[in-house]
Amino acid sequence: MAISNRRKKYPGVYAWILLFLVLNICPAFASERKSTCVKIIFDTDMLTDCDDAAALGILHKLADAGEAEILATMVTSSYPMSGPVVDAINTYYSRPEVPIGVPKKDYGVYRDNSSFLDSVAAEFPHRLKSNTEAYDAVALYRKILSGQEDSSVVVLTVGYMSNLAPLLKSTPDRYSALNGTELIRKKVKVWICMGGNFPVDDASDNVNFTRDPESAVYAITHWPGKIVFAGREIGHTIFVGDRLKDTPVDNPVRRAYQLHRERAKAKHWNHHTADPTAVLLAVRGILNYWNLSECGYIDIKNNCSFVWKDHPEGNQRYIIQKMDREQLGLILEDLMVIPPDKHE
Ligand SMILES: [Ca+2]
């Protein structure tokens, strides 16, 4: 997208200052004012990597603490057991009512083998039998967004953009007279996107973009609001998870790590924290964990390789490591192993 168009379309630096304040002030009031907790739509591939399971578990613990409200859990994998495993984790954390949306019709193109999905779906309580029983993700996005206050929703993707691209292209329906782009512009505060290697990506290992490249390029270049990227260079340098061994065997996140790590013939369960990092960013903001880059945008090609470009009116930023990685890893691992609150 040309810079001249960006200038017309996106808010400037003052909006970024406001975002910074909102992201950082909100958690401080979470315990006293639950209405200020961060409303999140969590969008995961839940397929090849166990860190999606840990990310969803951490999000539930932050919800237990009053820091987040989980509006919906979306899936971008077309593997039939992806939705059921999301359901199993929601159920373990006593939120079986959280709606689940999956790719339907002609979107959601990626599926693969998984080290843990079939076993976790078979072994742990949940209601959803297959992706086929879940909601259409685009329709669910539209339903959820239309019912929220303006500029109140954080969209968090820790997988592909297979739902966001068709959401952007969606047309008015029974939930909203707005098209998808207008609905996002009105209701979404920020999109937190786990993906990319910053500031330069050669598209060799950035699977969140490259497994559905057309959707990734479309969503990133057409998003009508702010995007903050949690790049791979952050979470792929922090490894935790071994303490999940000490959690109860009825914990589906524990089982996902066990199966994934054993297939890799690893003696320990420490694993990268790409997706858990993005959850922490989406709920707590940067705090003293990270710095924010200058405003700008990723100059992305069709194969999803990109170069970061600073620009004062760009709608995008990425996080830069600030806190010691071992210390941040402990924060993440603590959230992974705290048992669920029981909700009646
Ligand atoms: Ca993921």
Q: How far is the CA of 51 from the centre of ligand 1 (A)?
A: 7
Q: How far is the CA of 207 from the centre of ligand 1 (A)?
A: 9
pLDDT tens profile 158-200: 999 999 999 999 999 999 999 999 999 999 999 999 999 999 9
For residue 199, cis peptide bond before it (omega within 30 degrees of 0)? yes
pLDDT at 21 > cutoff 60: no
pLDDT-derived band of residue 58, with 50, 70 and 90 as boundaries? very high
User: Average pLDDT of the chain?
Assistant: 90
Q: How far is the CA of 114 from the centre of ligand 1 (A)?
A: 12
Q: How far is the CA of 195 from the centre of ligand 1 (A)?
A: 9
How would you classify the pairing of strands 271-272 and 239-240?
antiparallel
Compute the Cα dihedral for 164, 25, 68, 174 and give only its sign.
Answer: negative
Gyration radius of the chain over CA positions: 19
Give the pTM.
0.90
Looking at the domain assignment, is residue 93 inside a domain? yes
Weakest mean pLDDT among 139-153, 228-242, 330-344: 330-344
309 vs 195: CA distance, rounded Å: 16
Q: How far is the CA of 258 from the centre of ligand 1 (A)?
A: 17
Closest CA to 39 of 207, 151, 130, 168: 151
| H or E stretch at 230 | strand 227-230
Weakest mean pLDDT among 28-32, 125-129, 153-157, 333-337: 28-32
Q: How far is the CA of 2 from the centre of ligand 1 (A)?
A: 30
196 vs 316: CA distance, rounded Å: 13
Looking at the domain assignment, is residue 176 inside a domain? yes
Looking at the domain assignment, is residue 342 inside a domain? no
pLDDT-derived band of residue 138, with 50, 70 and 90 as boundaries? very high
Residues 11-24: what's their mean pLDDT? 47
155 vs 281: CA distance, rounded Å: 12
Looking at the domain assignment, is residue 344 inside a domain? no
To the nearest whole percent, how much of the chain has pLDDT over 70?
Answer: 89
- DSSP state at residue 131: G
Q: How far is the CA of 197 from the centre of ligand 1 (A)?
A: 15
Domain that holds residue 203: 3-337
Residues 283-300: what's their mean pLDDT? 98
pLDDT at 112: 82
Number of domains the chain is built from = 1
pLDDT tens profile 73-132: 999 998 999 999 999 999 999 999 999 999 987 776 777 889 999 999 999 999 999 999
pLDDT at 1: 41
Q: How far is the CA of 217 from the centre of ligand 1 (A)?
A: 18
Looking at the domain assignment, is residue 44 inside a domain? yes
pLDDT-derived band of residue 299, with 50, 70 and 90 as boundaries? very high
pLDDT tens profile 242-282: 999 999 999 999 999 999 999 889 989 999 999 999 999 99
Which residues are within 5 Å of ligand 1 (an ion), measured at CB?
Answer: 45, 52, 158-159, 275
44 vs 13: CA distance, rounded Å: 30
Looking at the domain assignment, is residue 157 inside a domain? yes
H helices of the chain, in order, are 3-9, 13-25, 51-64, 82-92, 117-123, 137-146, 164-169, 180-187, 207-210, 213-222, 232-235, 252-263, 274-284, 325-337
The residue that leads in pLDDT, 47 or 107, is: 47
Q: How far is the CA of 157 from the centre of ligand 1 (A)?
A: 8
The CATH number of residue 311's host domain is 3.90.245.10
The residue that leads in pLDDT, 22 or 243, is: 243
pLDDT at 108: 65
